[in-house]
Structure 1
Amino acid sequence: MPLQEQASLWSDTTIKMLDVRSGTLPPGGVLSEVGLSANLLLLAGGGEGRLVINGEVRHIQASFVCHAVKGSAFTMTAGPENLHYTVIIYKAVPMAGAARVLFPQRNHPLRTSFVHHPVHPAELHQTADKLIAKWSRGEGLERFHANALLQGMLYELIMEHERGQGGAEPDMVEVVAAYIAGHYRQELELKELAALAGCGVRQLQRRFKQEKLLGPMEYVIRLRMESAERMLRHTDAPIGEIAERTGYRDMYYFSRAFKKYYGVPPQLYRRTAASEPGPDAPYSGLPDPVIGHMRGTYCVTASPQRIAVLDVQYADHLLALELSPAGSVGLGSAVLKFPQYIREGLKATEMLGTYEYPDLQALERLRPDLIICTEVHDQHYERLSRVAPTIMFRRNESWQTILSLLGELTGKRAEAERIIADYLRRTALLSEELAPVLAGKSVALIRPRESLVRVHTASHRTGAVLYRDLGLPAPLFVADTSDTAYHISVDRLPAVHASHYFLLSNEMLLDEISVTEQSVRGMLDADERQHIYPVDAATWIGCYGPTGINCIVDQVARALLA
């Protein structure tokens, strides 16, 4: 069909939603439809199971979408866990006056049944939640909006499916990679990984090598070797213990494997790493005393004595270096205060308002010789610079980078390096201690916000502590994304499908538990297989200095090793 005619068919098509419903299949539960009278979208997630569509059997895991056309038959069976789903029934019809034959191509997406693994499943579930809310109101304008949302959803799915992004084969690789990341310390077999992906061994090997540039079992070895390398560099654990913790029962076989991978046996690698900085050393130094920042550079001619900071995290950094800021912003609105965990060290520090609303007049009276701020204070930068030299850091910059720069700035470079090395050593050891405890389980980081729940990913700074530094297994729901968080409705929370939840509570900031947080706690507490740990959001989200980060690590260890 000529391109012009195809474009016309799309322009003359209207999507008419007929019904929508959602539910939960218990373990072993079945959802089945035969001879569909209209097209259907099936969104599911939160567990695993089996889907049979038009006779084709598919293993399902994590989030997926099934598009089934009129006349199709499907059966979805939940595995050992609950499986949460949404069914949307619709039809695509030509507009009045348009050609009566709609999409005669047999392979057109609106006439094709397919299973699709979306690139951003949480965003899809957010749209589905909104669509259900609009449809349930039963009003003309609201249902008009529901049809528009469905049309947008179909557009995104069709574009992804036709480009092959997030489709069955690429998603197969991410599912297996995420599974390996949480189980590489155990014995894994290629046929087991292929069964997980719902494909043959050769197909998995081919796709995995295309996506990851190495085969699935080579990927297992890489994760094992990287884990062993961290333990050799940052802990004093015996070689036999390291071998066991990284999945090798035979210490001598482990030593041969390590030598093959790194070129030297583990004992020699440890001695060399102790005497020389490693390739991943956290601080590389600066060739001259110049600090680069968002608004230029700052030449360090002498260590500043009176530093004012407009973000609490920088007060934490200075205290870690055994320095006290002359002035700092605080937390709160009606009553300003410093975070509890660093309050004692800030007794002589002047209060300078809050991060969002700094007290510039108090800052001018303080007469500091250096000001440290973030991009949020860009509108005040000229006024700040008239008070004292001003350095502007990106607020979401790594705390290790900031500590290194402040160490250079204040003549405390060695202290900064020691703090970072201690943290890396500690998290490497704790990561290995937590691995057997969390085998086969995942950990979610969530925060109730108004009527929604924010699910944080490894791209968030606190998420990076959990998922990168401590190696905690992330739920497949959020395992592969560059977004810092997803927003989902409370009733969609089970789709995250985690065993452990760190709930970022606003109780200390609000002096009460919000209605949304109460609902989240009640939902999670109702499942005996899930563990929930309320933690202070002000500390876990707002304070990113080394003291605050180590407080987070302390709480993770207490919760998961209890």
Structure 2
Amino acid sequence: MPPQQQSSLWSDTTIKMLDGYSGTLQTGHALTFDETKSTSNMLLLAVGGEGELTMNGEVCRIGASFACHVVKGASFTLTSGSDDLYYIVITYKASSLEGVSHDLPSYRKHPLQISFIQSTMLQTEWVQTAEKIISKWRRGEGLECFHANALLQGMIYELIMEYECGQGGAEFDLVEVVASYIASHYRQDLELKDLAALAGCSVRQLQRRFKQEKQVGPMEYVIQLRMENASRMLHHTEASIGEIAERIGYSDTYYFSRAFKKVYGVPPLHYRLAKVSKTDADYAAALLGNRTASSYDSPQGPVICHMRGEYTVTQSPQRIAVLDIQYADHLLALGSPPVGSVGSGSRSVQFPQYIRAGLQDTELLGTYEYPDLTAVEKGSPDLIICTEVHDPYVERLSRIAPVLMFKRNENWQTILRLFGELTGKRAEAQRILADYERRTALLSEELAPVLAGKSVALIRPLDSLVRVHSAAHRTGAVLYRDLGLTAPLFVADASDTAYHISVDRLPAVQASHYFLLSNEMLQDGRTVTEQRVRGMLDKTESQQIHPVDAATWIGCYGPTGINGIVDQIEQALLV
């Protein structure tokens, strides 16, 4: 095309933004525009997960992110695959200046009349610019709308340049191949040697070339993508910190929080709260209430993040009172028994047998449901640790000593690490966790051939139903996550902690081994439902029942209690 025609092609073209919005497409859901809805040109950006984009009948698998230009009258469907997708839509109109005619050559369409997909890694700046464009457009002010159109024109220019460069048949670029692969697999455990093999070069060559083009090494690039997507989820979703950590490839919230702070300078919750409008106090309070336990370092000392705020450990507390027996277990394991703790039982309240010997000098503070606040006060603690159940008592407790509040079902490994920092015994906490991981890994290998092709169920008879626990349950996690046992298909994909079924439907679970959480010790006898369950399962030789104490398996959620549960699992399945 002659330079004069090229100049006219663009200099006489105007871009006018029509609308813009963003949203989150949940896993398995779809966003669809057919010919009747697509009444203008559109930019579609998506980040956060894998999925599928169908445009004008053609299917394209997408990786962690992509950008798409959709022309008026085109149809498309965006489907979220393995994770939620955060998407941005900007609609615009392209037209020529009044009195100017575009005579486009027949061999080449105007780029603004072509629908195309850029499925390689989306540039972070594009997402930030798109969000800025929408923000300015929604203000409705003349100058801000003018700026939004200018930014949009710049985005369209960059997108077209990327597209046309890709159409030129560029030679193989090992950096882009690896970067594209990382973009689609950054949630997985990636190793440098595997990335080098993918590019067909040495590790050293890949690191050198990658750093030249991306200014960071391949593994730093993995972390960068993880943190960018974590940032977007913190900003645009209400997922908990633990859920976000898991979605971007961190099985441990503790390490995710530290990695995030290293990149952004603040812990994940601080980052999220900074995005909340100062006038939206209710939402900010809700975020605090949903806070996952974590910590970060400060010049004054470790900072413990909990449901009621933050606690800076300037010196280790010496007299800790706990209102959940699991916390007494944690402190005992670290060699720092609490000055006071709640017990268990109905007729006679006492400490559980498995840690009773270690609590001889610990004052009894009532029960978890009914703590004795007067006894707490008499104990003169310098720190009180409780759960969300004790929220009604916090005001009074706070007058006695600082209060840390954690969710009762918080991951026990996370709590142990935090208690290690709280008591100045971080190394001891790490040793306990390493021993547990080593032990469960060895037991998992030993159980694998014994249970080949067999599943294990965790059930609890209630008044008229049976609760079948999934891997989301904290004791279920020991069976299915830590020991790698096979969950029944009935609950294999359960996102909740349990399903409730009638006793008659119990055969549908089809497990080979049943750990039955019995209330017999608490109630001085089996319930009618438990008797029916035992009678039903006893009828077949292909199923084995392992009755265990419900109070121990559900309430003993510290390192000593958890290891005791592993002892019982080992004895039941290997004997």
- TM-score of the two chains, using structure 2 as the length reference: 0.50
**Residue aligning to 1:5:** none
Say if 1:433 and 1:210 are closer, same or farther in 2 by CA, change over 3 A.
Answer: farther
d(CA) in 1 for partners of 2:202, 2:417: 31
Q: Equivalent residue of 2:515, what SS? A: strand
Partner in structure 2 of residue 7 of structure 1: none
Equivalent residue letter for 1:393: F
Partner in structure 2 of residue 358 of structure 1: 371
> Is it true that 1:447 corresponds to 2:460 in the alignment?
yes
- Alpha carbons 2:460, 2:518 under 8 Å: kept: yes
1:287 is matched with which residue?
297
Q: 1:264 to 1:211 in 2, by over 3 A?
A: farther
Two-structure CA RMSD over aligned residues (Å) = 3.1
The equivalent residue for 1:532 is 545
Share of identical aligned residues, percent? 72
| 1:307 partnered with 2:320 | yes
Match of 1:547 in 2: 560
Quote the residue 1:380 is aligned against.
393
Letter in 2 for 1:395: R
392, 404, 410: which one pairs with 1:391? 404
Q: CA deviation at 1:264?
A: 11
Q: Does the 8 A contact of 1:258 with 1:264 survive in 2? A: no
Asked if 1 retains the 8 angstrom alpha-carbon contact of 2:514 and 2:544, the reply is yes
Shift of 1:424: 1.1
Q: Please, which of 318, 326, 329 is the counterpart of residue 316 of structure 1? A: 329
In 2, the alpha carbon distance for the partners of 1:260 and 1:466 equals 36
Secondary structure at 1:358's aligned position in 2? coil
* 1:314-463 equivalence runs, <5 A: 314-463=327-476
Give, in whole Å, the separation in 2 of the partners of 1:400 and 1:469.
Answer: 12
Q: Which residue number corresponds to residue 34 of structure 2?
A: none
Return the index of the structure with the highest Cα Rg. 2
Q: Deviations over 1:371-404 (max 9, x none)?
A: 0000000011010000111110111110011011
Q: Deviations over 1:526-557 (max 9, x none)?
A: 11100110011111111210111111111111
Which one scores higher on RCO, CA 8 angstroms, separation ≥ 6?
A: 1
Amino acid at match of 1:529: S
CA distance in 2, matches of 1:293, 1:472: 32
1:501 alignment partner, one of 514, 527, 533 = 514
How much does 1:280 deviate?
6.2
Give the distance between the partners of 1:488 and 1:559, measured in 2 at CA: 25
Question: Which amino acid in structure 2 is aligned with residue 418 of structure 1?
Answer: R
Residues 261-297 of structure 1: CA deviation (Å, up to 9, x unaligned): 9x999xxxxxxxxxxxx98676557322211110111
> CA, structure 1 residues 358+516, in 2 after alignment: closer, same or farther (shift >3 Å)?
same
TM-superposed deviation, 1:356: 0.6
Aligned-pair CA distance for 1:433: 1.6
Aligned to 2:478: 465
Provide the rounded CA distance (Å) in 1 between the counterparts of 2:82 and 2:450: 28
Cα separation, 2, equivalents of 1:259 and 1:433 = 35
Tell me which of 479, 483, 504 is aligned to 1:491.
504
Answer yes or no: is the 8 Å Cα contact 1:306–1:370 preserved in 2: yes
* Cα distance in structure 2, aligned partners of 1:264 and 1:395: 49
TM-superposed deviation, 1:257: 9.7
CA–CA separation in structure 2 for the residues paired with 1:422 and 1:359: 36
CA separation of 1:526/1:374 partners in 2, compared to 1, >3 Å: closer, same or farther? same
SS state of the match for residue 446, structure 1?
strand
* Deviations 1:207-243 (CA, angstroms, capped at 9, x unpaired): xx99569xxxxxxxx9xx98xx9xxxxxxxxxxxxxx
Instruction: State how far apart, in whole Å, the 2-side matches of 1:425 and 1:210 are.
Output: 37
Give the secondary structure class of the aligned counterpart of 2:514: strand
Take 2:502 and 2:509, find their aligned partners in 1: how far apart are those partners? 11
Q: Could you say what secondary structure the match of 2:332 adopts? A: helix
> Deviation per CA, 1:170-203, whole angstroms, max 9, x where unpaired?
xxxxxxxxxxxxxxxxxxxxxxxxxxxxxxxxxx
Equivalent position of 2:33 in the other structure: none
**CA-to-partner distance for each residue in 1:48-82, whole Å, 9 max, x for gaps?**
xxxxxxxxxxxxxxxxxxxxxxxxxxxxxxxxxxx
Counterparts of 1:555 and 1:502 in 2: how far apart (Å)? 10
Aligned equivalents of 1:279, 1:448: Cα separation in 2:
35
Moved over 2 A (4+): 209-213, 256-261, 278-286
Contact 1:539 1:548 in 2 (8 A): yes
Alpha-carbon separation, structure 2, partners of 1:450 and 1:258: 55
SS of structure 2 residue aligned to 1:426: helix
When residues 307 and 517 of structure 1 are mapped into structure 2, their CA distance, relative to the original with a 3 A threshold, is same
Q: 2 CA distance for matches of 1:510 and 1:413?
A: 40
Q: Give how far 1:299 is off.
A: 1.3
Amino acid at match of 2:566: V
Gaps of 5+ in 2: 1-27, 31-78, 84-184, 204-248, 259-294
1:297 corresponds, among 310, 332, 338, to 310
CA distance in 2, matches of 1:429, 1:264: 35
| 3-state SS of paired residue (2:461) | strand
Give per-residue Cα distances to partners, 1:145-178, cap 9 Å, x unaligned: xxxxxxxxxxxxxxxxx989xxxxxxxxxxxxxx
Displacement of 1:481: 1.6
Equivalences for residues 263-274 of structure 1 within 5 A: none
Do the aligned partners of 2:317 and 2:382 also contact (CA within 8 Å) in 1?
Answer: yes
Matches of 1:319 and 1:455, distance apart in 2: 32
User: 1:383 is paired with a residue of what secondary structure?
Assistant: helix
Report the 3-state secondary structure (helix = DSSP H, G, I; strand = E; otherwise coil) of the residue aligned with 1:286: strand
Letter in 1 for 2:549: D
Paired residues, number: 308
Task: Report the equivalent of 2:491.
Answer: 478
Deviates more, 1:405-414 or 1:281-290: 281-290
1:35-54 to 2 correspondences below 5 Å: none
| Alignment partners' CA distance in 1, 2:197 and 2:456 | 33
Counterpart residue identity of residue 287, structure 1: D
CA distance in 1: counterparts of 2:321 and 2:354, whole angstroms: 19
The equivalences for 1:77-96 within 5 A come to none
Distance 1:399 1:264 in 2: 42
SS class of match (1:478): coil
Give the aligned partner of residue 573 of structure 2: 560
**Cα distance change, pair 257–453 in 1 and its aligned pair in 2 (3 A):** same
Contact 2:29–2:80 (CA under 8 A) maintained in structure 1: no
Aligned counterparts, 1:115-134, within 5 A: none
Q: 1:554 to 1:258 in 2, by over 3 A?
A: farther
Residue 526 of structure 2 corresponds to residue 513 of structure 1: yes
Alignment of 1:120-269 (within 5 A): none
Q: 1:264 to 1:495 in 2, by over 3 A?
A: farther
Quote how far apart the aligned CAs of 1:320 are: 0.5
SS state of the match for residue 429, structure 2? helix
Other structure's SS at 1:417 match: helix
